[in-house]
Every structure is written in structure tokens, then in C-alpha cells.
Structure 1
């Protein structure tokens, strides 16, 4: 497996401030039974919709701008907070993809992130999300994103992790479920994603 990028803090001061605010909220309780980790796609997921989809009190720990290595750094910083969620959803990778990282490097980072999550909070269920359809960033193409999702799916299968398939969730008209930037999800997109997560958890 390729080497993962080392953990790094958020690049912007505003990201660090928001990260600290999330840590303070997590530390002051009540302890969530479901947590969501990841980038802006995770951060935009409304907590009430996430709680309904999981059937659990949820806390959204997503942060816009996160790469896989940023989420790893932030989880390491939060690991000392004694929470024991029953479920964790990991949705990160679209920014690493846009940076040009190879699928193998992204999957290696996700593997390290999941290992840390198991050590820190030991959730019985960890759901790993693929990268939903998005406008190809400069230097990348649709085939690259599909290759990344195939690599994520293969690794998740080997680890027996439930896979939230963003491709299937936004099918058949993914563009109608995104904002005008063709990257971030709109209300329809999050409704579709919530329905897919609820179905996954029911059948899993």
C-alpha cells in the first residue's frame, strides 16, 4: 500500500478556530452516540438529518477544507475527549483527490484514520463514504474519481466496513443534487445521502 500523507493541522486560522470550537462542544457534552468526520461535504450535512438517518443523537465534526491528513490530525487532537459513539461516519477525500493525490495514498490515509478512530473512540460501527459525483478539478477526470472510489470500496470490503456509496445515493441525476459549484451538496443531495445512510444501517 502507498504511504499516507502525514497528519497536518488546518491550513487556515479560521479552520483552527472552528476545530477548537468543535472540540469544546464535544468536551462539554452531551456525549454523541453518532459522529461524522470529514471535509465540507460532511460539514454541510444537517445534524437533524444525520440523527434521523442514524436513529442516534449525532454530532457533526466535519470541517471545510479538510484533507484526509487534516481529519487525521484533528481526530488525534480530539482523541483525549472520552466519548464512545456507537457509530462513526467518515466522509473525506474530495479535497485530497483535487490535490492530485493517488488513490493508493488516499486509501492509506483513510486506513490510518480508521485505525486511529478505533483506538481513540472504538465505535462498534464505522461507515466509510466514497467521493460523490463532482465536477472534475483541474488535472483530474471522471475516470480518476471512479478509480478512487473503487479503491476505497475494495479496502472497505477487506475491512468489513459498511460503505456509503455516494455514487448510488445521488443517482440518477447527481448534478441536480449539488450546488452551482458542482461540488457541494444541496438540500436534495443531503436528503438523498441521508436516505442512503438510513438504508445502509437498516440492512447492515
Structure 2
């Protein structure tokens, strides 16, 4: 183990958890095990079911677009031991197979070790899979296995080994973990998992991204549900920008972000047409994008060749949501974007928006991460070229709760939410639009 890694683990674990305690900790075996040893749960965003017998089928989501979806799991057992679990899903943007502990587990002695399991991929051409481990209350972190898993399709059992450090960050609490292992899936697929264990021993295996630099390293979005449309959409946006320029109507305002910005083309379309179409507005929002994905797009031409009066940037909720990222890391990614936009649009005023609230209640874990990011990025404003605006109070009830009347899924605004956004932003945006260059 390198000196740097030892230092990191020392910070995470504290010296009390090395030495005799770590040496005494046995491996944690999740499979094979008696069926009752772990609470095995299969579910999607709307429903869950426990795999207590040989098989279980989860009812399809009620939304019209997902009613043809299917989700099922089955167990293979021998002599009272559950040996393997098969997960079979179709046309779901999120499904999960979770092995939950009936009593809290102290995983701190294992953070220098390895998560190991066997994976048999029968089909994953239109799907993705991610291995996850809980990192405290409301905190779960995963490693994307889509690329290698698609390559394993039809090749039988493959051994997977992931350093437990892949799931560790400063401030994470592994002292009382109830989810030592899960597989999150997307799209459609059929996979089996067996021989799952968490060991104290570090072993060679798959690498995971360096969480300290991931948010500032340009990358295309590599989720299963995005790989088919993400790059074509980027090219479409380049063409949309080109047509605006050639028509002599270059954009006076450009919005940069993720699915919430992309929503100006859907749920927010009517609001956009009333207020931003007259400004030849350009919205470059991509569902699922994190800071590194926006950085890639900016470095590949999305705002080159234009001189908008104002650029509106809101990004970060997928950094905190997809990987429970440390707020300082997300903030670093946003700062990198601020610098990139200023470099490419030196005459443009940048309006940096606070990340919108998510989750129903004020104590929602991911909302808390977003609020911590917002406190950090507020300091990026200089009052001249970069301006910060937090309109979150306009989206919330008086008690701090988030209503489904504004965000039906407690993340993405509906038409009413986009109207609230426009009205709350208007005084600042209008002032910036009227400011001479």
C-alpha cells in the first residue's frame, strides 16, 4: 500500500481501527448464506419487494411511460444456502438488488480491503450496472461497471474485485452500515451475482475513478441510458448554435446545465417561448450531466463563436445525487466551469445559480449536500463578471418542504416550477441583460 493511500485511510478510519482490531475482523460473507441471513430487496423508484423465497416480481411503475417495464429476481439455493441471485429487468431507468444487514455493521476495519463478487452477465446490451455500498445515513456510493459488464455478456462467471476505498470519502461514516452491497441497474438486462464477500485483504481488481479529481476531469457521460443519445445531442446543439449565427440571430442568453436546464425544452417550453425565445435563447442542458460532462461539452465547442450578454449556469445535483460527492469536490467542478466559461466568453456576464433543492423535507441528505455546495460557490461571484443568485426559497413551501406541485419527482420542475424559476430570476437577469458590455 502506498504512503498516500495509507494517509488517506488513516484520515478516514482513525488509527484506532488498524492493528489488532482490523486483524481480528473476519471476512463478511453475503453470498452464499442462508436466505434469512440478509434482507434481500428488489425494487425501483416506486415499489420494492423482498426476495424471501425462490423468486419475486415487483409491480411495474404506474407512470404511463414505464407500464411495460418488468422487474423480477430469483434465488438459486443448495442445502439451505442461497448460492446466487438472478436479477432480470426491462425498460427501467433505475432498478436495484439490495442485500441489507439486519443489524448495523462496522465496516471501518474493511476500508483497506476489497469487495468481491462473481457476476454472470446474460444480457446487458441495453443496460448498465453499478456496484454500491452505503457510507452512512442516506449515503450510498457506487462504481460504474457498465463497460466491463457489457464485455462479459455471454462469457459466464467473471470475478469482480473493487477496493473498498472506492466507496470511501472524508467524513463518511462506516460505523453502522446496513447496506454492505447492492447492484443498481438501468435500461434492460439479466445478470446473476454470487460469492459476495467483503475482505480485510487488499487484492488487485478493477480500478475506480479518483474522486478527488473526477469532477474537474472532462468526460463524456457514460451511463447506459445516455450513451446512445448524449453525443448526438451535443452535435445537434452545435448545429442549433450554427443556425442561429447564420441567421443573424445569435443568442443573447445561454443556459448551461443538466436535465433541469434541458427541461426548458419540455416542461418549461411555454415559459421559454414567452420569455427567452425573443432573446434567441440557447439551452445546452443534458440529462444526467455532472460537472465533468459539462466541461467536456464546453471544450468541444458548445459556446464557441457566440457572444451572449448573459450565460446562466446551474450544475451539481448529479454530482451529489449520483455519487454522494463531497461538496468541496462538487464546488471545485463548478469553479472549473466558471473559469472555462469566462475564458471562452470573456465579454459575457455569468449568472451562477444555486443548485435547486431536492427531496421533500429540509433534512433530505442530498438536499443537504446541495446546500453545502451553494454556500461554497456563492464566493465565486465577483459582482462584476460573475454573479450568484439563490432562488430556492421561491421553489419551497414556507416550512422548507418541496411540493410535488412544483417538482413532481422532487427533483425536476414542472411548468409551474419553470414559471417560478423565471419570475424569481427575472430581476437579476434583466439587470444583467441591460448592462453595457
TM-score between the two structures when normalised by the length of structure 1: 0.85
Q: Which structure's residues are more often strand, by fraction?
A: 2
Equivalent-residue separation in structure 2 for 1:92 and 1:41 (angstroms): 9
Equivalent-residue separation in structure 1 for 2:303 and 2:291 (angstroms): 20
> Deviations for 1:59-105, whole angstroms, at most 9, x for unmatched residues?
11111111011001101101573111111000111101112221111
Partner of 1:75: 298
Match of residue 164, structure 1, among 389, 399, 416: 389
Equivalent-residue separation in structure 1 for 2:402 and 2:241 (angstroms): 33
Number of residues paired by the alignment? 200
Match of residue 190, structure 1, among 394, 400, 418: 418
Offset of residue 160 of structure 1: 6.4
Unaligned runs of 5+ in 1: none
Q: 1:127 to 1:54 in 2, by over 3 A?
A: farther
Partner of 2:259: 40
Q: What does 1:49-198 align with in structure 2 at a 5 Å threshold?
A: 49-50=271-272, 52=275, 56-78=279-301, 81-98=304-321, 99-135=323-359, 140-156=365-381, 161-172=386-397, 174-175=402-403, 176-179=405-408, 181-198=409-426
Match of residue 427, structure 2, among 181, 199, 204: 199
Offset of residue 197 of structure 1: 1.3
Structure showing greater Rg: 2
Equivalent-residue separation in structure 2 for 1:131 and 1:79 (angstroms): 22
Unaligned runs of 5+ in 2: 1-211, 433-437
Q: 1:39 to 1:144 in 2, by over 3 A?
A: same
8 Å contact 2:402–2:410 — kept in the other structure?
no
TM-score between the two structures when normalised by the length of structure 2: 0.42
Q: CA RMSD in A?
A: 2.6
Partner of 1:27: 242
8 Å contact 1:166–1:193 — kept in the other structure?
yes
Partner of 1:5: 216
> Deviations for 1:18-61, whole angstroms, at most 9, x for unmatched residues?
11111111122232111011100011024663472697321111
Q: Please identify runs of 4+ aligned residues in structure 1 that moved more than 6 A.
A: none
Equivalent-residue separation in structure 2 for 1:27 and 1:77 (angstroms): 14
8 Å contact 1:34–1:54 — kept in the other structure?
no
